[in-house]
Amino acid sequence: MRLIEAWTFGVAFAGYAVGLFFYVGYALSRREMWGRWGRRVLIFAVGCQIVSLVTRVMAARTVFGQNWYVPWSNWFESFSFFAFLIVVGFLLIETSSSLPILGVFVVPFAGLALLMSFIEPLLSGQASIVRAADLGLLLSSARAIPQLPPALQSYWMAVHVPAMFVAYAAFTNAFGLGLAYLIQERQIKSRRPAEFIYRLPSLEELDRLIYKVIFLAFPVLTLGIILGARWAYEAWGRYWGWDPKETWALITWLIYLAYLHVRLAGGWRGRRTAYFALFGFAVVLFTYVGVNYLSVLHGFLSGVGR
């Protein structure tokens, strides 16, 4: 079981890299074929990672007898699940917009998230890389199936965290699109646009896509926060306690609320809203990773809380 889990994960990881390679090839060669292959490879990799996640749960259940086991509790699991959702989000966007070129702007972040998933032992000082062989050790220690802390053995864990992650992954996509928008905008504004602007979608299209992604992700984020509050009530006896994670989740929520507000009511379009998407993502990153070092209650990734 562990073997299937490890192998499918490896294949998925390689698949994301190969998918990105195809998208870059598509951007450079202008051959539709590359874009189609990038998509196929990503779908395959996503399938592999689903198998990997399922087998991981099954392994944890049989080996540790953990009935509430969900594969997004520690550093490694959380980042690789995040990468998985980024790619799923991208595939949805690509399907609805048929713009494979966007892969160049989004898929690298999935790759980064996957790389991030391995480095926890380095950060916590449990491992260091001196020899090449240490890399394998690092991987296996990062990928070990954790004992779920009692605080996380709850069905809320199975709904609250995925809701937050879906929203965060969508915001990552919006971030990638925002980058594409700003590059395209700057090129056209320069009056001497490089040739590649004809490869990128139009400003209006990108602007609308960013809006759509945030518009759809915002209710999911809202739901995630509400579920989290409900869980907090059951676990800690209060809905809201201004724990840093809670505070920052609220800040994230307010930023995207502000985005939707200025766009819908303020008539903002274009560059400023693209910056909003970038800024919002920076806050998401802080809420996701940075806050773990501040929050005792939510310090599951950093070890502060344990």
Partner 1 sequence: MKKLLLIGVSHKTAQVERRERLSLSEAALPDFLGRISGAPAVAEAVVLSTCNRLEVYVLTESPSAARELIEKELAARWGEGAPPWYVREDLAAVRHLFHVAAGLDSLVIGEGEILGQVKRAYEAALGARGTGKFTNVLFQRALYVGKLVRAETRISEGATSSASVAVSLAGKIFGDLTEKNILIVGAGKMAELSARNLLSQKAARLTVANRTLDKATELAGPLGGRAVPLEDLPEELLVADIVICSTGAPTPLVRAADVRDIMARRRGRALFFIDIAVPRDVESEVNGIENVYLYNIDDLQAIVSETVGRRRSEIEKATLLADRKAEEFCRCCESWQAGRPAPFAHSDFLSRSSVGGPAADATFLE
Interface residues toward partner 1, by CB under 8 A: 31-33, 184, 188-189, 191-193, 195, 197-198, 200-205, 267-272
CA-wise closest residue to 78 among 127, 52, 114:
114
Rounded to the nearest whole angstrom, what is the least distance from the CB of residue 36 to partner 1 in the complex? 9
Distance CA 251, CA 243 (A): 12
C-beta separation of 86 from 113 below 8 A: yes
CB atoms within 10 A of CB 136: 10
Find the DSSP H helices in the chain: 2-29, 32-64, 75-97, 103-118, 120-123, 133-143, 160-189, 203-236, 244-264, 271-288
Distance CA 101, CA 34 (A): 10
CA-wise closest residue to 171 among 248, 90, 117, 245:
90
Residue 150 vs 267, nearer CB to partner 1: 267
Rounded to the nearest whole angstrom, what is the least distance from the CB of residue 223 to partner 1 in the complex? 29
Residue 125 vs 195, nearer CB to partner 1: 195
Rounded to the nearest whole angstrom, what is the least distance from the CB of residue 201 to partner 1 in the complex? 7
Residue 215 vs 268, nearer CB to partner 1: 268
C-beta separation of 283 from 252 below 8 A: yes
Residue 182 vs 304, nearer CB to partner 1: 182
Rounded to the nearest whole angstrom, what is the least distance from the CB of residue 212 to partner 1 in the complex? 14
Residue 132 vs 265, nearer CB to partner 1: 265
Joined tokens for residue 254: 């307010």
Rounded to the nearest whole angstrom, what is the least distance from the CB of residue 109 to partner 1 in the complex? 24
Rounded to the nearest whole angstrom, what is the least distance from the CB of residue 204 to partner 1 in the complex? 5
CB atoms within 10 A of CB 21: 15
What CA–CA distances, in Å, run from 62 to 4, 59, 78, 145, 150? 15, 5, 21, 12, 18
Joined tokens for residue 144: 């070990």
Residue 192 vs 306, nearer CB to partner 1: 192
Distance CA 223, CA 215 (A): 13
Residue 16 vs 23, nearer CB to partner 1: 23
